[in-house]
Structure 1
Amino acid sequence: MFDKIKQMMELRKQADKLKKELGAVIIEVSDVRGIKVVINGAQVFQSVDIDAGLLNAGNKNRLQMDLLRSINTAVKKSQQAAANKMRNTPGLNIPGLT
């Protein structure tokens, strides 16, 4: 029983370390001209930058669609980075990641 508790504590320690490491991974997405989204590996957005020219263009729907596309791309890349980091962390045997 104590072995299981010890394993759980070690797993928690590794998970905390992984979370900290993921927070340091920065992903920048600028797939759409004039929009840049920055997110970290823990999926916390760091910034969104929109070129002033896009704000004055008067095409609100286009800007919204482009922004959504950029955000979704950033989230996907962040998820991929997290999955890769978890795959390479010894002792974290999470089904579906290996």
Structure 2
Amino acid sequence: MFDKVKELMELKKKADRLKKELEATLIEVNETRGIKLVINGAQIVQSIEIDEGLLAPAHKNRVQMDLLKSFNNGVKKSQQAAANKMRNIPGLNLPGM
């Protein structure tokens, strides 16, 4: 019984360490014209940079679509980074990861 509690405590330590690593992992997405997005491994957007030339009213729809695409690509990449880090934790066998 105590061995199981000890194992659970160790897994919690590993999960906490992983969470900190993910928060420190920065993923930069610059796939669209003039928009740069930085998201961390915990999927929190850290920054968005938009080229000044894109801010004209005539470019509004394009900027919105490009920003949406950048954000979604950033989330996908941060999920992949999280899954890769979780694979490296011994004893943390999560299906589908």
Q: Deviations over 1:23-71 (max 9, x none)?
A: 1211100000100000111111110001111001522221111100000
Q: TM-score, normalised by structure 2?
A: 0.93
Q: Which consecutive unaligned segments of at least 5 residues does structure 2 have?
A: none
Separation in 1 of the partners of 2:9 and 2:58?
55
Cα root mean square deviation, aligned: 1.1
Q: Following superposition, which runs of at least 4 residues in structure 1 exceed 2 angstroms of deviation?
A: none
Q: TM-score, normalised by structure 1?
A: 0.93
Match of 1:80 in 2: 80
Separation in 2 of the partners of 1:59 and 1:51?
11
The total of aligned residue pairs comes to 97
The AA in structure 2 aligned to 1:78 is S
3-state SS of paired residue (2:38) = strand
Percent identical residues: 69
